[in-house]
Structure 1
Amino acid sequence: MANREALRELQTRLASRLQAARTEGVSVAWLAVRVGGRNLLFPLGQSGEIFPLSSLQVVPYARDWFRGVLNIRGGLYGVVDLAAFIAIDTGHARAEPAGQEPSVVTLNTALDVNCALQVDGLLGLRGVDAFVSSEPADPDAPAYFGNQFKNSANEQWQEIDLRILSQTPQFLSISA
């Protein structure tokens, strides 16, 4: 129960920070998340809502990265273990989460895909001013990898284009 309250508090803080950023003219561009040991950035315009991962219904004969179906406010959403999906797509092993209770971030309804991405941790909102450098994704990276950023602590952040991800044939094909 305490985890749900903490998630609600985080959602409230994020919503108030986003509203403050709009009124103050501060550029907030991404939702920062931790997925399989990686720092990722989801564009706010492509991200939806954040929910705790609970009451997941497993789907038989689905790929390993497709966790199942979740009822969110009366709608059914497919839940993708993003770390496992990226690991398969990039050929890197999936790093295990650091023991945090996972959450899901739904895709924006404008993307027309009832999907939620499992994330290991929510790290707040980020704007361009949070980073000191950026460079394009590696040429061999998946098409949905956007720019790579580094912050002042020299931590690497990978932007994920959720629109491109949601249209990728591998992402849309969940049957094993």
Structure 2
Amino acid sequence: MPNKDALRELQLRLASRLQAARERPRDAGWLAVECGSAGLLLPLGQAGEIQAARDLTPVPHATRWLVGVANVRGQLNAVLDLSVFLGLRTASATAVRGGAQLVVMNASLRTNCALLVDRLAGLRDAEQLQPVPLSDPRPAFAPARWQDASGRQWDELDLAALIADPVFLDVAA
């Protein structure tokens, strides 16, 4: 039965690789997202659930980047259009673009907020990226810039610092 042996060998290799991945220390891990033409890295420990952006309820008299409220598993979350907040795009009547996703903040941040991003771009580790020296002044929530093997640059966002930013907290129009 060569097929049974091959299957058993495959299962053993997969189990071995999973165990090695669990035991390997991780320097940093990010969820890579795209907003407009910008690549952004959200710390995995600060990002929570991800779901397709749909059924947003508008909030009257809110700032241009607060695009609405979404129900995520029975929990209401304010939805921040990350592209508009960062100045990468102007606010429009159709805030939810095709393929857009909501990245809900991790419960440890103790805030009911989700980020509207244009596209998910996968996971990134520190070993896949090289730090890029910064010369321009940056907000506290954008501490670093990284570059991948293809030359694409990614800005790291600290979500804990983002939700403490005074501009983020001022949602009234």
Normalization by structure 2: what TM-score?
Answer: 0.79
Name the counterpart of 2:74: 74
Q: Which has the larger radius of gyration?
A: 2
The 5 Å alignment of 1:1-176 reads 22-25=21-24, 27=26, 29-87=29-87, 94=90, 100-136=98-134, 138-176=135-173
Q: For each residue in 1:86-119, what CA deviation from the matched residue of structure 2 results, as whole angstroms up to 9, or x when unmatched?
A: 10xxxx655999x642000011111111000001
Contact 2:64 2:91 in 1 (8 A): no
CA distance in 1, matches of 2:91, 2:153: 16
CA distance in 1, matches of 2:124, 2:19: 13
Give the drift of 1:74. 0.7
Q: For each residue in 1:58-103, what CA deviation from the matched residue of structure 2 results, as whole angstroms up to 9, or x when unmatched?
A: 000001110000011111000000010010xxxx655999x64200
Report the identity percentage: 38
Give the drift of 1:53. 0.8
CA distance in 2, matches of 1:93, 1:60: 20
CA distance in 2, matches of 1:125, 1:21: 18
Q: Note the residue ranges of structure 1 that are not aligned, 5 or more in a row.
A: 1-18
Calculate the aligned-residue CA RMSD, in Å: 2.4
Look up the equivalent residue of 1:113 and give its one-letter code: T
Q: 1:155 to 1:21 in 2, by over 3 A?
A: farther
Give the drift of 1:38. 0.4
Q: 1:127 to 1:78 in 2, by over 3 A?
A: same
Q: For each residue in 1:4-56, what CA deviation from the matched residue of structure 2 results, as whole angstroms up to 9, or x when unmatched?
A: xxxxxxxxxxxxxxx77851516351000001210000001111110111110
Q: 1:31 to 1:115 in 2, by over 3 A?
A: same
Q: For each residue in 1:116-143, what CA deviation from the matched residue of structure 2 results, as whole angstroms up to 9, or x when unmatched?
A: 000100011100111133335x452211
